[in-house]
Amino acid sequence: MRIHRGCLYCGKELTGRTDKKYCNLHCKSAYQYQKIKEQPERFYNKVDNQLRLNRRLLKEYNKAGKSVIRSEVLTGQGFNPKFHTHHWKNQKGEIYHFVYEYGFLQKTENRKEKYVLVTWQKYMENR
């Protein structure tokens, strides 16, 4: 006795093996993709995605090795200063936060929030 079942993705009636779940590879792939999209994003993925976005923005706005940019420009594009990989303290006591090799220092000048963007240098390793 054969049980008639439908494809898990499109519902089309299946023929062939009794343990078959999908009518073709497209339906199998689409069903798996749909299941993954329904699952909530894992914490690790959220952190990794934010770090990648932060690094990309810092790299994009710091072509010269050191630059200054208004904070609303970066935060408007999704930059989140709470996500960084490490920090470095200079001789003045200012703390630069880094996302891998690109760093930033939050400053307020003339009541406007700004970021000083820098690139990691060899001399920073010894502190």
The closest of 104, 60, 108, 63 to 83, measured between CA atoms, is 104
CA distances from 107 to 42, 96, 115 (A): 33, 11, 6
According to DSSP, residue 6 is labeled B
| Whole-number Å distance between alpha carbons of 89 and 96 | 6
Decide if pLDDT at 2 tops 80.
no
Handedness of CA 44, 45, 48, 53 (dihedral sign): negative
Question: Which pLDDT score, from 0 to 100, does residue 17 have?
Answer: 87
Asked if pLDDT for residue 59 goes beyond 90, the answer is yes
Q: What is the pLDDT of residues 39-54, one digit of tens each?
A: 887 888 899 999 999 9
